[in-house]
Amino acid sequence: MTSKTHGVILTDAAAVKVKNLLDQEGRDDLRLRVAVQAGGCAGLMYQLYFDDQVEDADAVNSYDGVEVVVDKMSVPYLDGATVDFSDTIERQGFTIDNPNAGNTCACGGSFA
């Protein structure tokens, strides 16, 4: 496994939700991958998914037992970004607060 780290922050609420989802999957070989790819309204869009692979160029941090993996190309776009989880009447789901995003789209799923 790689020793490179990244600047993505996983809040306690997000870590708890990820752990719960991993428990539901019944697998202990999955990690949360956070990435960006071209697309969306504003030019780049976020991806959050479980991955059983860690590549040599990936950066990995652990938050309360949850490994968060970011690919080499996404690291500069996500440096300082915070992944949170809300479960309220107004909002449910994961959110990414990214200080590197100059513009975001109305849906909040893409940025530039």
Burial label, 68 (beta-carbon count in 10 A; 0-12, 13-18, 19+): buried
This prediction has a pTM of 0.83
| Cα dihedral 36/109/102/44 (nearest 10) | 40
The pLDDT tens digits for 30-79 are: 999 999 987 655 578 889 999 999 999 999 999 988 999 999 999 999 99
In the chain, the percentage of residues whose pLDDT exceeds 70 is: 84
Domains in the chain: boundaries: 9-102
Q: Which CATH superfamily is domain 9-102 in?
A: HesB-like domain (2.60.300.12)
Q: With bands split at pLDDT 50, 70 and 90, how would you rate the model's confidence at 2?
A: very low
Report the DSSP beta bridge partners of residue 93. 86
